[in-house]
Chains A and B, each alone.
Chain A
Amino acid sequence: MMAESGSSEVAVIGNVDLTSTELENNIINTMVERGTALLRRMEINVAEAEKRTGKNTVNMQETYTVYLIETRPAETIAEGGTPAAPDTLWRRYSEFELFRNYLLVTYPHIIIPPLPEKRAEFVWHKLSADNLDPDFVERRRVGLENFLLRVASHPVLSDDEMFLRFLTDEKRWKEAVLETGFQDKVDSRLKSLSAMFRVKNPDKQFTALKHYSDDLNTIISQLLRVRAKVADRLYGVYKVHGNYGRVFSEWSAIEKEMGDGLQSAGHHMDTYAASIDDILEEEEHYADQLKEYLFYTDAVRSVCRKQDLIQYELEMAVQDLSTKKQQKEELTSGTVRIFSLKGMTTKLFGQESQEQRESKLEALDLSIHEGEEAVNEKNRECKEFLQTAWGDIERFREQKDNDLREALISYAIMQISMCKKGIQVWSNAKECFNKM
C-alpha cells in the first residue's frame, strides 16, 4: 500500500509479500537445490588454477593465476556412460572483478554476492599472505566457484546474459560487457556511495538494515581477528609437545626395560605435534565462510545506500514541485509569500504587464507539469526499488541464517574431530607408557 505523497510527505512502504519461490525453498541450504533455470540445465565448476606470466598494461612482466571454469549440461549420466566432457575457459581474478562491477551497476537493488578476498587478511602467523601461495590459490579457487554458484542460483542474476557469456565465451565476453556501457554508471555509482546527503524521512526498515549490516561487519571482523590469534596459540601448544618426542628418544637410550615404551611414546608425541597443521588448514575453510558474509555486508550497505539516494532524489523532486507551485500561486494571487528578489523589485518598481504575467504562468504550468511527472517517475522508481530490494533482502536473510548455521555446525564437527584425534594420540601414548 502506498500513500500518495502530498507536498512534503514521502512515500510510505508497507509490507512486501514474499515471492512463492522463496517459500518453496528447502530449509537445508544447498545452492544447487535452489531451482534456477540456469542451474537446472548447467553444472558449473572452477576446477583448477594455473600460473601464467605475461606482459601487463605498463609492459612489465608479471605472474598471475588463471582459473579454469568448467560448464557441462546437467543431465543425469546415462547408465554405464562417462560424463560428457565439459566446456572450459580460463579467467583471471581481475575478470571476475570486472564482471562483478557490471552486476553492481546493473542490479543496484540486488545484494550482489562477494568475491573471495583480493589479499589474504586475518592471517595467523604460519599462514602465508602471499597471493601466489598454493594454499591461498586453492582457497581462492573454492571462493570463486562459490561466487559463480551464488550468482547462478539467484532468481534474477542467473538470467543475465553477460553471466552466461562470462561462463562460456572466453574471448568476446569482455568486449560485450564493455559495450553495455556500464562503466559510465560506475563513476556515478561511486559518487553516490561517497556522497553526503541527508534524507528527511529515512525508511525505517532500511535504516535498521543498515545498522544491522554495520554491526555484523564489526562483529565478524572481530571474530576473525580473535580466531586468528587463537589459531596461533593453539599451534604453539601442539608444536611444543614435539620436544617430548626428542627427549623421550634420548632418555630411552639410557634405559633398559623402559626404553621401548619411551621411544614409541615419543613417536606419538611427534604425531601429535604434526597434527595441528591439518587441523588449522581445515579451519581456514570456516574462516572463509565467515569472510564471505563479512564481504556480503558491503553489498548490503550498497543497496541501502542506493535506496537512500533514490529516496533523496524523490524528496528533491517533491520539494522542487512544491516550490514551483508556490511560485504559481504567488504569481496568480499577486502576493509575495516567499521572499524573492523578483518579488521585491516587482513591488518596488511596479507590477508586470498582463502579457508578461500570462507567459510566465504558461512556463510555470509547463514546469509544474514536468515536475509532477518527475515526482511520479521518482515515486514509481522508489516503489519498485523498495519492492524488489526488499524481496532480495528477505531472500538474503534466510540464506544467511541457513549458511551461517551450517557453518557453525561444521565448525563444531571440526572441533569434535580434533578432540577425537587428541584422544587417539594420547591413548596410544598411554599404552606405550604402560609398557614401560
Chain B
Amino acid sequence: MSVAAPRGLASSGQKPIAEVLHPLAAAEEPLSPGPDVTVDDGGDQEAVLTNGTPVETSSPASASSLFNRLQLEDDLEADARDLYVSTETRDLFVTVDDPKKHVSTMETYITYRVSTKTTRIEFDLPEYCVRRRYQDFDWLRIKLEDSQPTHLIPPLPEKFVMKGVVDRFSEEFVETRMKALDKFLKRVADHPVLSFNPHLNAFLSAKDLNKRQGLALLTKVGESVKQVAGGYKLRPRPAEFCAMGEYLDTFSQKLGTIDRIAQRIIKEQSEYLTELREYGTVYSSWAGSEEELRRPLEGVASSVTTCCGALEDLSENMSQDFLPVLREYVLYIESMKNVLRKRDQSQAEYEGRLEAAVLRKQEDRTPLPLEVEKCQDKVECFNADLKADWERWQSNKRQDFKQLLTGMADKNINYYEKCQSGWESLITLLQDKQTEDKTSETN
C-alpha cells in the first residue's frame, strides 16, 4: 500500500520536526487518528446528548486568567516540549481544577472543572468549560487506548480506593487526585497525535458524554486484540525494543525502592516528631519552677515548637506531593510496557502471516496477499510511533524528575530555614536580656 497523502504527525517516522507537516496544514486530508481504527466511531465525533451526568453549561472560562495559569506551566515544561511542539505552535491548553462534591440519591461523587482554550479548528469554540468526574477520565483513557494502540497513553491515578482505608472525600485525597488528572490531560493535550483524537475533543467540549457507545466499542476492539494475541507466537524483539524493556524493568524497580525509602523517612520523621513534642513540653514545665531562667526556657520550648510545625509541613508535603508523582510514574511505566507488548503482538501477527504466505507462495506461486503487506505497514508504523513516543517520554521523564527532586530538595531547605530562624530568634531574645541585665547590674 503506498502512502498517497501525508499522515498524522507521529506516524511519519524519524523526520525532523521542520519537515513534518502540521496536521492542520493538510486541509483536504480528513484527520485519521491511527492506521488500524475503523471509522465506526464516527458517531462519537458529534457530541450526542444522552443525559446521565449533570454538567455545567459550557460557558467559557475567564480567558485571561486561564491563559495566565497555563502560561506559567508552559515555562516549566518548555524544554521538554521543544522537541515536538514549541510554545509558539502550541494551540491547545487544558486545566483541571475546582473539585466539587455532588450528592444525589444514588451516590456521592466529586467532579472537576476541565477548562480548555484552543485555536484549533477541530473545536467549534475557542474556550470550553465542562465538569467531569473520574469515570469520565477513565472512559477517555480507554477510548484512547483502543483507538491509538500504537501510542503510549499516559496513566490515570488509581481507580479503586479501599473504602474505610482512605477517605475518598478528604481534601488531601481529592487534591492529589486532581493534580494527577490534570497531569494526565496535559500530557494527552501535548501529544502530537493523541491531542487530535475525537474522543479527547468530545471529552473537552461535550455537555454530556455518551459513554454507552464507548462500552460497545470496547468489546469489539477487545475481541480483535484477543484474536491477534491468540493466533501468533511471539517473535524475538528487535534489539532497541529489548533495551527499552530492560530499561523499564530496572527503572520501575528503582522507583519502587525510592518509594519505600520515602515512606520509611516519613515514618521516622513521625516518630521523631512525637518525641520532639514531648521534649518541648518538658522545657515549658521547667520554666514554671524558675525565675531568671523562665524566659530562656520558655524560649527554647517555643523554638522546639517551631521545629515541630516545620517538620509536620515537610512530612505532609512528602506524602502528598512526592509519593503520588512517584507512584504515577510506576503506572506510566506499566502503560509503556503494555504498548511494547502490543507491538510485539503486531510483529507476531505480521511474521506469522508472512511465514504462512511464503509457504503458500512456494506451493502455488500466488503473490504475497495484500493483508500481509498491510501487516508489515502496521508493524512499521507501530515501531515508528513507539520510538517517537519513547523519545518524548524519556524527555518528559527527565523534566518531571528534575522537577520532583528539586522540589524535594526545596522542601527540605525550607524546613531547615524555618528551624534556623526559630532558634535565631531565641538567641536574640537571650542576648537582649543579657545586655539588659548588664546595664541593671552596673546601676
Contact = CB atoms under 8 A, between A and B. Distances in A.
A219 interface: yes
A426 B412 contact: yes
Contacts of A27: 434, 437-438, 441
Given A243-B261, A408-B297, A412-B423, 11 more contacts: A230-B272, A233-B276, A244-B261, A250-B254, A254-B247, A401-B292, A405-B430, A413-B423, A423-B413, A427-B409, A433-B409
Listed from nearest, the 9 A-B pairs whose CB atoms lie closest are: A430-B409, A419-B420, A233-B272, A422-B416, A433-B405, A401-B292, A251-B254, A426-B412, A236-B268
Interface stretch (B122-130, B183-191, B281-289): B281-289
Given A233-B275, A405-B292, A430-B413, A416 B430 contact: no
13 contacts: A219-B285, A219-B289, A222-B282, A223-B286, A247-B258, A404-B293, A404-B296, A412-B423, A422-B412, A422-B413, A426-B413, A430-B413, A433-B409
Contacts of B250: 254
B406 to A, nearest CB: 5
Nearest to A413: B427
A236 B272 contact: yes
Contacts of B299: 408
A411 to B, nearest CB: 7
B289 A216 contact: yes
B336 to A, nearest CB: 14
Given A415-B303, A430-B410, A433-B402, A237 B292 contact: no
Contacts of A257: 398
B240 interface: no
Contact of B261 (A240, A250, A401, A408): A240
A139 interface: no
Nearest to B413: A426
Interface string B394-420: 000010011001100110110111011
A411 B299 CA distance: 12
B247 A412 contact: no
Nearest to A251: B254
Nearest to B421: A419
A405 B299 CA distance: 11
Given A226-B278, A230-B275, A236-B268, A244 B258 contact: yes
Contacts of A420: 416, 420
Interface of A: 27-28, 212, 215-216, 219-220, 222-223, 226-227, 229-230, 232-234, 236-237, 240-241, 243-244, 247, 250-251, 254, 257-258, 265, 401, 404-405, 408-409, 411-413, 415-416, 419-420, 422-423, 426-427, 429-430, 433-434, 436
A254 B251 CA distance: 8
A246 B376 CA distance: 45
Contact of A408 (B415, B416, B419, B430): B430
Interface string B293-313: 100110110010000000000
A412 B401 contact: no
Counting chain A CB atoms within 10 Å of each CB, which of B271, B278, B423 scores highest?
Answer: B423
B303 to A, nearest CB: 7
A178 B382 CA distance: 99
Nearest to A246: B257
A408 B287 CA distance: 12
Given A230-B279, A237-B272, A247 B398 contact: no
A227 B300 CA distance: 13
A145 B401 CA distance: 54
Given A405-B293, A427-B409, A226 B275 contact: yes
B86 interface: no
Contacts of A412: 300, 303, 423-424, 426-427, 430
A436 B409 CA distance: 14
B413 A247 contact: no
A265 B406 CA distance: 10
B438 A229 contact: no
B264 interface: yes
A401 B296 CA distance: 10
Nearest to A421: B416
A343 to B, nearest CB: 54
B279 A237 contact: no
Nearest to B415: A422
A409 B430 contact: yes
A394 B274 CA distance: 38
Contacts of B419: 415, 419
Given A223-B282, A241-B265, A415 B423 contact: yes
B14 interface: no
